[in-house]
Amino acid sequence: MRIGHGFDAHRLVEGRALILGGIRIPFERGALGHSDGDALAHAIADALLGAAALEDLGSRFPDTDARWKDADSMVLLAECAKAVRGAGFAIVNLDATIVVERPKLAPFIRRMRENIAACLAADASCVGVKAKSSEGMGYTGDGTGVAVHAVALLREAIT
Ligand code: MG
């Protein structure tokens, strides 16, 4: 068994879409980023890559590379999952916590889980996603940004 941890944060600004786990969330601001700014996909990708001790997301898809401008992060996540499987691992489960004051994400959690599971060729029962506020404190509390923490468990695949 191998455990991995991932973290990501993006600034919330006007004129951008808010996309989390590949789901477009109706909100007056969205995540600033070189890609589509999907902090949930990014944190999960780094948790998976970290568990396999592979090169991280930012090294694979650098924000200095025009190829990844406005990239669909779910496509990047699928690539990372492929790399993890290629390194001889299978995904056991993963769990993520989105920290943001607004919008309330409860209505979107199930779709996020299903979308991530489909992207990883895993069952939705292996994908946990939760949303928390930070009670008005700090950049996630004052609406400046969104942060995501994620962990992933891998097992060596039987070949
Ligand atoms: Mg990111």
Residue-level pLDDT at 4: 98
* 158 CA → ligand 1 middle, Å: 32
Residues 6 or more apart whose CB falls under 8 angstroms from that of 16 comprise 29, 30, 31, 32, 37
* 37 CA → ligand 1 middle, Å: 6
The reply to whether omega before 62 is within 30° of 0 (cis) is no
* 85 CA → ligand 1 middle, Å: 22
**Site of tokens 């039987």:** 158
The reply to whether omega before 26 is within 30° of 0 (cis) is no
* 75 CA → ligand 1 middle, Å: 14
pLDDT digits (tens, 9 = 90+) for 45-97: 999 999 999 999 999 998 888 888 888 999 999 999 999 999 999 999 999 99
Total length of the chain: 159
* 34 CA → ligand 1 middle, Å: 8
Structural domains in the chain plus CATH codes: 2-156 (3.30.1330.50)
* 42 CA → ligand 1 middle, Å: 5
Alpha helices (H) along 66-128: 73-86, 109-120
* 159 CA → ligand 1 middle, Å: 33
Which pTM does this prediction carry?
0.96
Cα gap 106→3, rounded to integer Å: 27
pLDDT digits (tens, 9 = 90+) for 13-48: 999 999 999 999 999 999 999 999 999 999 999 999
* 38 CA → ligand 1 middle, Å: 6
